[in-house]
Amino acid sequence: MTDWGAHMIDVANWGMGVTAPRSATSVGGKFGFPDDAEETPDTQQALWECDGFSMIWEHATAIGQGPYMRDHGVAFHGNNGVLVVDRGGWEVLPETETKSGKQTYRMIGQPRRRTSGDMHQDHVKNFLECMDSRKRPRSDVEIGHNSMIACHLANIAFRVGRRVQWDAANERIVNDAEAQKLVMKPYRAPWTLPGAASTQI
């Protein structure tokens, strides 16, 4: 979840104009590699409730292809079509409807368009340039933080086995002390994180 989620959820947040969900729920388990040493699920689905829409996440470690013949990506579902975006490019797939016994497309699709250049190098270059210029980078720490909120909420919901509600203004899980304890691990004395006491139960 926090591996690919870090690379994909920011695109979903940006596309939908949100920074954090209102709630999260998640199911999954270790089905692909049940005997390995990892504690994270290799198969997981998450549902986030956001303002005006729901966001769904799905991953399965042992399966190479996902929806729309992609191994990763984000799909924005609309009434007339689906915009599919991944690191390699984007395309628009039209929805169909039947009128008078004839199947038609609701819109004109757009064939897959490839991105140009190396996105990883572009991000690194932009970050280094911003260190010098003191400008805000394209993918700054706040964007990463907001992406991780969704990932961590889904993982916490998975661990406690129930839906969790998020108070974005105070950055805490509400009405669930067990889940809130997983938001931040306790620091080992004498180490502390200044200003963090208010986020702990």
CA distance 51 to 22: 7
86 part of a folded domain:
yes
Q: What is the pLDDT of residues 148-183, one digit of tens each?
A: 999 999 999 999 999 999 999 999 999 999 999 999
Asked whether residue 190 is assigned to any structural domain, the reply reads no
124 part of a folded domain:
yes
> 194 in a domain, yes or no?
no
Low-confidence ranges of the chain (pLDDT < 50): 198-201
The answer as to whether 201 is a domain residue is no
Residue 121 belongs to domain with CATH number: 3.30.360.10
Residue 112 falls within a domain, yes or no?
Answer: yes
What is the domain count for the chain? 1
Give a yes or no: residue 28 inside a domain.
Answer: yes
% the chain with pLDDT above 70: 97
Domain that holds residue 81: 4-184
Question: Does any domain span residue 189?
Answer: no
